A and B are shown apart, each in its own frame.
Chain A
Amino acid sequence: MRRLVAFFAFAVALIPRSARADSAGDLEALLSESVVTTPSKTAQSASVAPATTSIVTADDLRRYGIRTLDEAINFLSLGMVTTEPQHAVEVGSRGVLFTTDYGNHVLLLVDGHSLNEPWDGTAYFERGAGIPIELVDHIEITLGPGSVLYGSQAMLGVINVVTKSAGDYGGVHLITEGELSAGADRSGSPSGLGGGYRLGAGVGKESTWLGLPVSGVLQIEYYRQKGAPFEYAPQSGNVDSVTGLPKDYGPRTAPGTWGGTVKDAYFTEAPAAYGRFRLGDFEVLARTGMYRRGTPYQDSIVAGFGDFDEPRSFERDRWINVEAQQRITLSKVTTLRSRLYGDLNEYHWENVSSGAEDCPEGATRGCRRSLTGTGRTLGTETNVTFDWLSNGRLTTLTGADVKMRDVRTWNDVIDGATGAPLDGNEATVRTDVAFAAYVEQAALPTSFLSLNAGLRADDDPRFGGKLSPRGAVGVTPWSGGQFKAIYSEAFRAPAVYELEYHDPADTVTAPNLRPETVRSVELSFEERFATQRFLFGVFRTWWNDMVLSAALSDAEVQSAIGAGQLAPGATEAYQYRNVATVDNYGYNASWEGSAFERRLSFGANFTEAYSRRNQGDGSPLEPLTVGPAAFGNARVAYDLGEKLPTLALAAQFQARRPADRAFDGGFSVSPHAPPALLLRGTVSGRVPGVRGLTYRLSAAYSFAAQGPYVVGPNQYAADESTRAALSPLTRISGFLGFEYVFGPR
């Protein structure tokens, strides 16, 4: 609570006098109102929307040197946070983060199109999002459960990236960007340099055809990064349980020892393209790309085994998304929106290991494993809005969504010495059709009261049926003030991977998994005056049926052997089960504003939460790992004028947090990541003398050297002397980028 008092005292002290006494304050307050489409699938003022929503604008992205969605979340948003494990980031909200979930508790939309793929519900928030940042008009970040209109995945929140129209992205755009980052030695001190670059080209144009307006925007880009080099302290003395010899971690480290400097295994390659084309009321969105990356260490997420500094170990995603949509006004009361969508997704994982114990029997010189999951989705959604009084005071939204999914998976293992297949199969995992229907009723009975209630019913062969309600009450006691009370529920459908994955050695399928669920109650108050906006909210959430890989009892193992699900001789085995619950509550606060004719802009967000997980195995309640219980950000920027640059400084803070193996690693000292403070300074503006050419120059420094992930083969303590090694963080980084715009705008 002291943090909260300090936050508000700081905020009030910094309110410029000009803002407090500004006679044009009411108009400025209206202009600072956000208009959001995510909470109710229709444009409405954020203050009356049935959810807590924050907006990140294109100006914010530019002036604070933001290049990816996760950076926008960390430096600019309220209530959400990501952690950086040197591969795909993990995202959490309001004190809840589920490590290893590949982002499948957050629904990620681009212009309303879901990017969570159908195999595992995965969504990426860094380069893997494949969203050219110059195309982004704004990002709507809606906190809390949102299944009432969106169905599965919308548990922690819904992020909707809204791209620019052709009118706002006119002309031809050429983009180039180069980056440098410092690696770290085993002590965490900066050491060695890595780099990357991005090249992009975009175009936006408006015209008419047969009397109809025609417009289109398209951007393609290519991003590549290698390094920086990180040094990992040797983890030695490891013996291969099959050969009895020191375990072989490949040619780049001594037998029995994992560690050294990673030079080649830390990389990213991400080409992407996104376009929107419109003819009259008919619009088509198309997105494609690839995201290939290498993780420089063994961990609990990507791989717990494999050779050290092996560039042939990687993950790769590829996708094609297409959507056609149309809005038709049927009458002054009725508006119909329909969309047709199709997605192709592929995930591919490869791992090279020279250790015999990591491979099937007989592969004494190692093996190469691969896993591929593909998903094809074809769906259509139609909704109808009834404005019963034709004045917006009593509206009903009702809709239905039906989609067909085909998900397949391949596992292959190849002998490291001969290249011969050792084990593997192809299986069509699932072809199914999911159906959902939803209704939302909104009412404005008086000028100071807004009511909203909604319900969605999902019928999904993966788990059966699920109802997701939401109710919200908004009260406006005075101009600029807004109280909200919201109750909402959400769920995550079991992933195909969780339902169907099995391994005769140690894993049985889980055909009876139920969806994970969350219920949330939140209260918030928002006050606007002139260009200032304050928000304070409290929340409580209850998470049930959370899926964990649980150990089978001896009797269950024997039963599974008898049923042919496990190989004879199996002694321990696991199955995904709905066993865990999470209890979470806390508060969040936000303050943002501007002064001096909007030249000075600033903002700060802070969240503190209590979260405890019950694993359902009789063990004591534990804090959630990896995600911080307290986190926030602050920013300030000043625009020096038309021909001068904008100077900006942004900071991100995460409190000390348990590492992923803090409670199950058996380490004598429970590993925790230290508090993290990341500062980023950015200078942006026009290049003098060259019309249409702009630049961004940015540098960042991390005061923390370690993140919340235990790295290397010692994921579990071998004895009392074993200390956990935590993932290193990039301490120093920077980039310089240029954008050149020419042609008719």
Chain B
Amino acid sequence: MKRPYGSDSGRIWLGLLAVALILAGAGVAVASLPARPRIFVVGGIFIVVFCFAAARLVRTVGPGGDRRASSGGPRDPAAADERDPAAEPPSTLRDKIVGKVRRKPHTRTDTRPDRGPAPAGTEPDTTAGFSSADTPGTDDVAASGDRPRLTAKTSLEAITVGPVTELDRTTVPLPPRVIAGTGDSSAYFGGRVVGRPFEVRGASLPGLSHLLEGRPSQDCLAAGWLPHRDSLLIAAADGLGSQTNSGLVATFALRRLLDLGQNSFYQQYTLAQLVEQVRRETADKLRDGAHDGATTLVAAELRAVPGGAETDIVAVGDSEAWQLNATTWQALHHERGDGTRALPQHPATQAAHLHLPTGTVLMLATDGVAEALGSGRSGLAQELMERFARPPRPVEFANLIEFRHEMYNDDRSAIAVWLVAGR
């Protein structure tokens, strides 16, 4: 942690005052001595002071010494604190994070049933490309409920998600970091951002078609508070079914987006720049050609301001962003048509920068949900409009997202933020 700038000079003055008092006392004592002992005492004091000063000098300028002192003055208070891992240079940090991801054990979070040890040969690939460690893991709160109490033990940053005694209270705090979906995992979560007017609900559910065919879900959701930016980040990604590892790519992209967003080094980056950084890192991961994969992505960053939230939306592909204002659904991002743009082949674009007033619901959804909204006047849109008048319980939100419609059997994922009044 940084120390207050100026505290060093105060400490120096105090030190000098103490030394002056000691010297004055010693002077009085020495003056009262006979001449011969006085010489020995004064000489001894000089020797001690000399040794102390020499030792101090060696420690200051020698190898491994205090670099701040050797630089001749206090460091720039704006400089990153060396002991703050979040402020490390990006390359070092990236190495650390990637290394951490690669070392992640092949286990599920504590919020899910233990499937026992991984069979031989299924250890995460630690050399290149994506591994099973890129699925939601022990760093993330993944969610089949929302149990902040458990997060301390299993640690959202040391587990996902922990369901809870009172799964459905709408006032539970949102865990600092949630990643849900992909693989064969259904998940839902919800909570309130403490001290901010954001009520969040999310659900990621494998589509009927995937369940029938035994194919894993490739959708992923993420939500996290970005303390250095004082903002809430939510995102949805949908791995392209045409490429094998797209589910892992979707998870990797959202995990990295949260990593970067929560890292103080990137606090000056815009959301678009963060997504672009994620795109580059994803491309790097896929560069060896051993793995394929691509994902759509839509992300929103909300900053609370009086009367609502300043909101940025960045997106690529057919995952969509919508806002609901009491009686109207309005698309903020949608790309429907032939061909799906996806990371890392295509860059994301700034879809919107707007002020969302209190009372608005912002929803990001993969195409399994978004397409069923139609132009905002479909049956689902009408149903959600009524049910979203206030934040539903997380399990209700999940059941709403799992609407039944014979035409829509793709994976279903949606994350919504209610801009509620007050804090």
A binds B: no
